[in-house]
Structure 1
């Protein structure tokens, strides 16, 4: 195994800087609508997550990322987040879910008020629709989830009930583990991030990472210490951190598409024996990283 202690690990965290669940200030209702609407006309693209083309969950993920909130990657996994909301109690920013395939959750949109939603549709791309459209959407409606409550005072109460941070790794946890692995000086508790006070248990580790001059917070100057990351994201982090290269032939997993940005990193991680996937040949790229997984990965890399 080719191991190198490389600091570019922190550059990879910049990819996550705008995609976090945070219990602090986020956006107003009008900002939700404005953020989503700026993508009107963007074409639909299966598996798309960028402005060159979005699929339905790629679009919702991008909008919420712009607002500083992390969503899971797929419509089905987004349905596992937040708290259920009755159709009669919908608020701007609620996620609406539909069964368009005949087999469970297959579409997601964002409610923008007055009975309207914005989403990325197969034939129209990002566009508006009526939630109670009698010709299509109304009969396929499954339910709604509230991941964040937006108001007019620029605050958002994020529903954290779906994420147990005694089980899943937060950004603060990752910073702590990386600082320990790299033997960084964590005595300085002043991180420079507005949402990390010197009294935060991971303030020293976060400050140590920030001192490298590579790690950046989001556009609001936040570190978002209570946000999760996915297994796909940590694969890239670890490959960059340890300077890993393919140790054997390419290793593939059934849930990691060949054209996915994460494919190379997951394959390299697996070829070095850091991960084996599950019994079904899945890596779980969109699953949130667990603390025990993070520790095992680092331990294996340090052997």
Structure 2
């Protein structure tokens, strides 16, 4: 806007100068060319300046949402750690088993849940798969004997789990053939 006002003012001054006979048309042309060069230089200089973007602050999560994020973040932080039978991540253990992982993740949100996957399932509020939210637990029957595996649902059909001996904690797709066919149910502890 300021550039426009400057240009208009300049044109008015030039009209006055020409009509008064103070300057010739050739000199006017040279002045106009010079003004164009100056405008281009100003625009180039303005283009070099970085545009300040307002940083959007993430809204601070509270209540249920905060607990869910703590659970998911705690589970995700363990990705790559070794599976250890019966492991809870204590100094005596070299890693986590599936229920030790979920217990650890829930402790990060201040929620105590049982150690074994069967007990975690039994004490959870059972929900439908379509009702899953981040931080809920997903249970599997991998041996044909009922619940024997558990993971933390992280959204988008994915969950974090400790798959077994010789493997590391990882994410998996709940809807892929192996896990989809062994899905037993879902549970919620967050109210």
TM over 0.5: yes
Is residue 87–residue 144 contact of structure 1 (8 Å, CA) maintained in 2?
yes
Q: Deviations for 1:225-271, whole angstroms, at most 9, x for unmatched residues?
A: xxxxxxxxxxxxxxxxxxxxxxxxxxxxxxxxxxxxxxxxxxxxxxx
How far is 1:32 from its partner?
2.6
Q: Is the 8 A contact 1:54 1:125 kept in 2?
A: no
Shift of 1:31: 2.9
1:64 paired to 2:106: yes
Match for residue 146 of structure 2 among 104, 107, 112: 104
Give a deviation string over 1:161-208, Cα, whole Å, max 9, x none: xxxxxxxxxxxxxxxxxxxxxxxxxxxxxxxxxxxxxxxxxxxxxxxx
Instruction: Report if aligned partners of 2:67, 2:109 keep a CA contact under 8 Å in 1.
Output: no
Could you tell me which runs of 5 or more consecutive residues in structure 1 were left unpaired when the two chains were aligned.
1-23, 149-156, 158-303
Per the alignment, residue 184 of structure 2 pairs with 142
Q: What SS does the aligned partner of 2:85 have?
A: coil
Distance 1:99 1:82 in 2: 16
Query: How many pairs were matched up?
Result: 125
Q: State the SS of the aligned residue for 2:169.
A: strand
State the 1:28 CA deviation: 4.3
2: distance between equivalents of 1:86 and 1:127?
23
Instruction: Could you tell me which runs of 5 or more consecutive residues in structure 2 were left unpaired when the two chains were aligned.
Output: 1-61
8 A Cα contact 2:72 2:105, kept in partner: no
What residue number does 1:30 align with?
69
Query: 2:120 aligned with 1:86, yes or no?
Result: no
Partner of 2:172: 129
Q: CA RMSD in A?
A: 1.7
1:117 to 159, 162, 168: 159
Q: Is the 8 A contact 2:121 2:139 kept in 1?
A: yes
CA–CA distance in structure 1, aligned partners of residues 116 and 171 of structure 2: 20
Tell me, yes or no, if structure 1 residue 75 matches structure 2 residue 114. no
Deviation at 1:81, TM superposition (A): 1.6
Q: CA deviation at 1:30?
A: 3.1
Partner of 1:47: 86
Q: Deviations over 1:96-118 (max 9, x none)?
A: 10001121110000100000000
Note closer, same or farther for the CA distance 1:115–1:103 as it changes in structure 2 (3 Å cut).
same
Using the alignment, how far apart are the partners of 1:83 and 1:143 within structure 2? 11
How far apart, in 2, do the equivalents of 1:48 and 1:31 lie?
21
Give 1:70 shift. Answer: 0.5
- Greater per-residue helix proportion: 2
| Superposition pairs of residues 154-173 of structure 1, within 5 angstroms | 157=191
Q: In structure 2, how many angstroms separate the alpha carbons of the residues matched to 1:44 and 1:56?
A: 8
Alignment partners' CA distance in 1, 2:70 and 2:147: 27
In the TM superposition, what whole-angstrom CA distance separates every residue of 1:126-185 from its partner, at most 9, and x where no partner exists?
Answer: 100000111x1111000001111xxxxxxxx2xxxxxxxxxxxxxxxxxxxxxxxxxxxx
> What displacement does 1:78 show?
0.4
Cα distance, 1:34 vs structure 2: 1.6
